[in-house]
Amino acid sequence: MTRPPKPADRPEKVSLWRYARLFRADILSAQPGKLYRAKMAEFRTPFFRSYLINQPDLIDIVLKQRPMDFPKSARISEGLRPLLGESVFLTNGAQWQRQRRIIDPAFDGGRLRDTFPAMLAAGRAASGRLSEGVIEIEPQTSHAAADVIFRTLFSIPIEHEIAARVFSQFRAYQRTQPILNLAAFVPLPRWMPRFHRARTRAAARSIRHLITRLTETRLAEIAAGNAPDDLATKIMTTTDPETGARFDTAEMVDQVAIFFLAGHETSASALAWALYLLALYPTAQDRVAAEARALGDDPDFSSLSRLKFTRDVFRETLRLYPPVPMMVREATRPERFRNRDLAPGSQIVLSPWHLHRHRLFWDRPDDFDPDRYVTGNGKQCLRTAYMPFSAGPRVCTGAGFAMVEGPLLLALLLRDWRFETVPGDAPVPVAHLTVRARDGIRLRLSRR
């Protein structure tokens, strides 16, 4: 059976200049194949050392046991700062802890139940926008994921004038934003310009201006006592239990920007790859469609428990195509990992892409097999070698949200539509802001 595609591995040895160019263009194809077998690998540059860690107990040290000793690396965050400012995705230390204390209550289990009607409406709208024939699926999944974010966060559909403009501007931002800028490779003093592209800065300013309008409107509604009970209201009215302070407008704009980036871009990536995988494996697609039909015409939140196989399909998609393929932390003190001394300032690279396909951990790591999670190997790897949302205290706030949204949207789309691959048109994954297809994903759709 055809295996899902992945990028070609680069040659084992290339120059630093060549590696930097490959890494800036696509971090996946910049890596050698031996990383799928390595527990740890070292990369040297004239300015710093990087260590890719695939060993589960070392990953636990970095993410779970001592996360404050391994803050997020500023080398990676520099490229995203024009859009995300001081959002929870980029901050460290006490500032990050304060932000999480305010944000986390909005995404607890009870709140997820409250968001279900908005997700259901967005999924039905997404199905209604599709048409028969060959289509490019990634714009459709981006549209659907953006609709979910605006409905759950601000109680407005994607057709709302400001929501539509944010979505349009974000597409422009995606096209101009490389995953890394110069600061990732060369230590720059804080006063030195970061050389962001002019179009990237312009798109980021436009997005933040529009989000500011939404935020100020909501603050006025909260003050007037007529604000909808959605995620934005919950976050903006939550006080830090230690200080009693709330987010001001500027802080809220930073957080909404990351909610949109993380909640829309990552979900769109995962949903597109899931639809491609189901088109590639029709038997699995039929099983998802059967579960979807069993939901009936008016599902509620409790209905999600019946989407067991659909959830495993989404979980397997996140294994093969994790939307965020690599995460970078920085050592703040001397460390010793696998008999190597790591100096302070060393970059610790944690790669879901390589860990999820690691030859030493997973059975048939390159195969699409949603049923693997009922096996002993699958259950073990879920605990030790699976981190699409990171892990530990910095686990993605929206992980539970995504695991409701993904299976639900898959079910709603597969209930109405059959997806088939286009012969000779296999997508090639590349990593930009998330793992996307280099030339898009084209699928043939027909009504069920």
One-character DSSP codes across 336-376:
EETTEEE-TT-EEEE-HHHHTT-TTTSSSTTS--GGGGGSH
Q: What share of the chain is helix, strand, coil (3-state, %, to 5)?
A: 55, 10, 35
Q: What angle do CA 163, 263, 260 make, to 5 degrees?
A: 40
**Is the whole-model pTM more than 0.85?**
yes
pLDDT category of residue 78 using cuts at 50, 70 and 90: low
At residue 121, the pLDDT reads 95
Q: What is the pLDDT of residues 362-381, one digit of tens each?
A: 999 999 999 999 999 999 99
Q: How far is Cα 316 from Cα 83, in angstroms, rounded to an integer?
A: 31
Q: What is the pLDDT of residues 167-225, one digit of tens each?
A: 888 776 766 555 544 444 444 444 444 445 677 778 888 888 888 999 999 999 999 99
At residue 393, the pLDDT reads 93
Q: How far is Cα 273 from Cα 426, in angstroms, rounded to an integer?
A: 12
Mean pLDDT of the chain: 87
Q: How far is CA 389 from CA 6, 70, 158, 185, 438, in A?
A: 20, 17, 25, 25, 23
pLDDT category of residue 64 using cuts at 50, 70 and 90: very high
Q: What is the pLDDT of residues 227-283, one digit of tens each?
A: 999 999 999 999 999 999 999 999 999 998 888 877 788 899 999 999 999 999 999
Q: How far is Cα 156 from Cα 160, in angstroms, rounded to an integer?
A: 6
**Domains of the chain, first to last:** 61-327+359-447 (1.10.630.10)
From 61, 32, 19, select the one nearest 329 (Cα to Cα): 61
SS3 286: helix
Q: How far is Cα 398 from Cα 401, in angstroms, rounded to an integer?
A: 5
Q: How far is Cα 102 from Cα 222, in angstroms, rounded to an integer?
A: 17
Q: How far is Cα 11 from Cα 372, in angstroms, rounded to an integer?
A: 31
Q: What angle do CA 397, 398, 402 make, to 5 degrees?
A: 155
Query: Counting Cβ atoms within 10 Å, is residue 9 exposed (0-12), middle (13-18) or buried (19+)?
Result: middle
- What residues have CB less than 8 Å from 218, skipping those under 6 apart? 154, 227, 232, 233, 236
SS3 225: coil
390: left (phi over 0), alpha (psi -120 to 50) or beta: left
pLDDT category of residue 108 using cuts at 50, 70 and 90: confident
pLDDT category of residue 164 using cuts at 50, 70 and 90: confident
- What residues have CB less than 8 Å from 55, skipping those under 6 apart? 39, 40, 337, 338
